[in-house]
């Protein structure tokens, strides 16, 4: 259904200004003085409080509620996945990733499930909710955040809280979304009704990136004002800030939350949680994206770095933080800069040589989407005895020259144990009842093909 023929459902996508007033007026219990088990910036940082009341909905009966997925639970791993990419040409690409087995070997496959113009300007950020991949959010230079039901391929509506381009989107959990913008603010949304719980102010200029700690209690952000800021998500306020004397472009937490990386130009600074600078990596070319992930074979932390050199470089992060990161592998195949990278753990079909693996997805200005298998990277002890390993792509999709800008991976089908959960089924039924008025992505694609250059869902 084209947005020209019907309006998006505003029952699930309230205009943010009204939602903000509603959430501010809602009474909430007082928060505890400390947020436990969450990192803090060192005493050298200066903290400035932004709000005193806790975020509505993040606390229940005076107790902190923090839902963090258990990555060690193999029963909840998806058996397939979705790749969603944004582009300069305003097109949103949706691909389905599947795995097939032959003898003890396995192969990845990509097929398109939707392609259509989602915004009236270039798409700058995409994010999918974890633990099922129900929600998809897209942010654009048109200052609008579009929300989609990815399972049912329906448009829910547009969030117009920001007064500048949307630079970053992230789902700390499937119940909340955090956005950043060129207007200098971050916004915390509740996915149940897409109300704005908090507007976080503190940056003086564009916010480039935000990263939420795995505890879901704190977040870090960097921006044009050359500061690193920490936000207390339980109270909805800034907790600390420090000058970094360069414009941070990306900030990322490590998998276990014990480190974070700050990227600017061709350098990556690795910090501990007490703001001690451990190492500075100088990459040979301009960086565009970085991502922490765990090894599949063996144990240890990896840092993936996509750059102008047309490849994804894999750095090994030693458990002994006094030792510097080293390059152990390169993922090759692109013919232009690597713009973005994302990863997802999936369960492999019966008969495969292993039960699970981690899929690495890269997009490039060459218009290609490529998948790599992190299980092909040898264990750390083996890698130390070899030269740099070069990993070839396991699958690819060609957009025929589209300039891709951002990518996210979402859960596809889940294992039988998770699918049989009664609670999950009831929640899905409730969601389907709420979303009946949304627009269908596949229908939008058909409408756009028939209407030529008309853009779906882009008008305010």
Tens of pLDDT, residues 356-409: 999 999 999 999 999 999 999 988 755 455 678 999 999 999 999 999 999 999
**Overall average pLDDT of the 314-338 stretch:** 95
Return the minimum-mean-pLDDT range out of 26-40, 81-95, 228-242, 243-257.
26-40
Q: What is the pLDDT of residues 339-362, one digit of tens each?
A: 999 999 999 998 888 999 999 999
Residue 33 has pLDDT above 80, yes or no: no
Q: What is the pLDDT of residues 274-305, one digit of tens each?
A: 889 999 999 999 999 999 999 999 999 999 99
Reference 411, options 67, 153, 70, 79; nearest CA is 79
pLDDT value, residue 413: 73
Return the minimum-mean-pLDDT range out of 258-272, 289-303, 356-370, 444-458.
444-458
Q: pLDDT-based confidence at 56, cuts 50/70/90?
A: low
Find out whether 330 and 364 touch, Cβ atoms under 8 Å: no
Q: Can you give the pTM of this predicted structure?
A: 0.79
Reference 256, options 35, 68, 390; nearest CA is 68
Choice between 42 and 344, residue whose per-residue pLDDT is larger: 344
Choice between 441 and 259, residue whose per-residue pLDDT is larger: 259
Q: What is the token pair recorded at 58? A: 């993040």
Q: What is the pLDDT of residues 68-85, one digit of tens each?
A: 444 444 458 999 999 999
**Overall average pLDDT of the 437-450 stretch:** 45
Q: Round to whole Å and give the CA distance between 200 and 238.
A: 7
Residue 108 has pLDDT above 70, yes or no: yes
**Mean pLDDT (the chain, rounded):** 80
Query: What share of the chain in percent tops pLDDT 70?
Result: 72
Choice between 408 and 453, residue whose per-residue pLDDT is larger: 408
Q: What angle do CA 91, 92, 96 make, to 5 degrees?
A: 140
Which domains are present in the chain?
Answer: 80-411 (2.130.10.10)
Residue 453 has pLDDT above 60, yes or no: no
pLDDT value, residue 414: 63
**Overall average pLDDT of the 314-336 stretch:** 94
pLDDT value, residue 379: 85
**Which residues, in sequence order, are CB contacts of 198 under 8 Å at separation 6+?**
23, 51, 55, 187, 188, 236, 237
**Which residues, in sequence order, are CB contacts of 423 under 8 Å at separation 6+?**
none
Find out whether 209 and 216 touch, Cβ atoms under 8 Å: no
Choice between 118 and 31, residue whose per-residue pLDDT is larger: 118
Q: pLDDT-based confidence at 445, cuts 50/70/90?
A: very low
Reference 69, options 234, 255, 299; nearest CA is 255
Choice between 6 and 431, residue whose per-residue pLDDT is larger: 431
**Overall average pLDDT of the 139-152 stretch:** 94
- Put residue 57 in one of left, alpha, beta given phi > 0 → left and psi -120 to 50 → alpha: left
Choice between 234 and 308, residue whose per-residue pLDDT is larger: 308
Q: Round to whole Å and give the CA distance between 449 and 445.
A: 6
Q: Round to whole Å and give the CA distance between 123 and 140.
A: 4
**Which residues, in sequence order, are CB contacts of 78 under 8 Å at separation 6+?**
133, 344, 346, 347, 411, 412, 413, 414, 415
Q: pLDDT-based confidence at 39, cuts 50/70/90?
A: low
Residue 19 has pLDDT above 80, yes or no: no
What are the strands of the beta sheet with 176-181, ordered from one edge?
166-173, 176-181, 185-190, 195-201
């Amino acid at each position: 259904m084209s947005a020209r023929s019907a309006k998006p459902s505003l029952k699930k996508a309230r205009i943010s200004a009204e939602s903000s007033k509603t959430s501010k007026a809602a009474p909430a219990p007082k928060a505890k003085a400390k947020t436990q088990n969450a990192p803090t910036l060192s005493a050298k940082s200066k903290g400035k409080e932004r709000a005193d009341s806790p975020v509505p909905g993040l606390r229940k009966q005076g107790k902190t509620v923090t839902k963090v997925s258990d990555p060690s639970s193999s029963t909840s791993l998806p058996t397939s996945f979705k790749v969603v990419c944004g582009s300069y040409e305003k097109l949103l690409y949706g691909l389905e990733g599947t795995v097939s087995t032959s003898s003890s070997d396995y192969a990845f496959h990509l097929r398109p499930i939707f392609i259509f113009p989602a915004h009236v300007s270039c798409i700058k950020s995409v994010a999918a909710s974890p633990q099922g991949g129900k929600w998809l959010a897209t942010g654009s230079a048109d200052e609008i955040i579009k929300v989609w039901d990815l399972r049912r391929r329906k448009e829910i509506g547009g969030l117009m809280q920001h007064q500048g381009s949307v630079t970053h989107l992230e789902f700390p959990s499937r119940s909340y979304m955090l956005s950043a913008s060129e207007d200098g603010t971050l916004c915390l949304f509740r996915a149940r009704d897409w109300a704005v719980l908090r507007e976080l102010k503190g940056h003086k200029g564009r916010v480039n990136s935000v990263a939420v700690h795995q505890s879901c209690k704190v977040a870090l952000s960097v921006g044009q004002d050359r500061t690193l800021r920490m936000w207390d998500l339980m109270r909805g306020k800034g907790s600390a800030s420090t000058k970094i004397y360069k414009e941070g472009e990306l900030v990322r937490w490590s998998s276990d939350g014990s480190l974070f990386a700050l990227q600017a130009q061709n350098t990556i600074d690795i910090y501990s949680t007490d703001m001690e600078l451990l190492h500075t990596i100088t990459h040979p070319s301009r960086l565009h994206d970085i991502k922490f992930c765990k090894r599949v074979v063996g144990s240890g932390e990896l840092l993936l770095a996509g750059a102008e050199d047309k490849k994804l470089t894999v750095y090994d992060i030693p458990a002994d933080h006094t030792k510097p990161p080293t390059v152990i592998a390169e993922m090759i195949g692109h013919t232009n800069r690597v713009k973005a990278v994302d990863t997802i753990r999936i369960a492999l079909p019966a008969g495969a040589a292993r039960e699970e693996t981690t899929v690495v997805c890269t997009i490039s200005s060459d218009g290609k989407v490529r998948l790599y298998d992190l299980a092909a990277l040898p264990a750390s002890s083996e890698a130390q005895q070899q030269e740099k390993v070069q990993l070839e792509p396991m699958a690819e999709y060609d957009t025929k020259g589209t300039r891709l800008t951002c990518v996210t991976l979402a859960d596809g089908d889940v294992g039988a144990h998770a699918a049989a959960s009664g609670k999950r089924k009831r929640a899905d039924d409730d969601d389907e009842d709420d979303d009946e008025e949304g627009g269908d992505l596949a229908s939008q694609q058909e409408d756009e093909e028939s209407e030529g250059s008309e853009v779906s869902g882009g008008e305010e």
